[in-house]
Amino acid sequence: MKNTSTRGQAGFTLIEIMVVVVILGILAALVVPQIMSRPDQAKVTVARGDIKAVAAALDMYKLDNYAYPSTQQGLEALVDKPSGNPPAKNWNRDGYLKRLPVDPWGTAYQYLAPGTQGAFDLYSLGADGKQGGSELDADIGNWDL
């Protein structure tokens, strides 16, 4: 005789689905606050990356012109040939940057040459846009990298 019994349908029970939903809810409650606090950290990371890139362009400028641009010439010397001292005798006609970045909070990066921390100071004033501060309001400079 043939076995005519049918198997039960495979699937999940309501209890199993509820357990999965509860676990996902718990995970979301733990993970979402962590992710939501990261935009501020991301801005600090972007500022550090920008500072590294602009500092590298300043180093290339110095290789060509034997000196960093003065504070008066500013970071604009990386985009357009500067006038004044020190002269940019071997300035790269393509420039060193296509455009000057602004920090993640919408403020121009600050430049001082000679710097107080080294040959030049390149920094962002942080979230508050003011000198000094702590945590997210702290200045982020090339001396930290």
**Neighbouring residues of 143: CB distance < 8 A, sequence distance ≥ 6:** 115, 117, 118, 121, 123
Summarised one tens digit per residue, pLDDT across range 21-33 is 888 888 777 776 6
- Please tell me the pTM assigned to this model: 0.72
Summarised one tens digit per residue, pLDDT across range 44-73 is 888 999 999 999 999 999 999 999 999 999
Q: How far apart (Å, rounded) are the C-alpha atoms in residues 54 and 32? A: 34
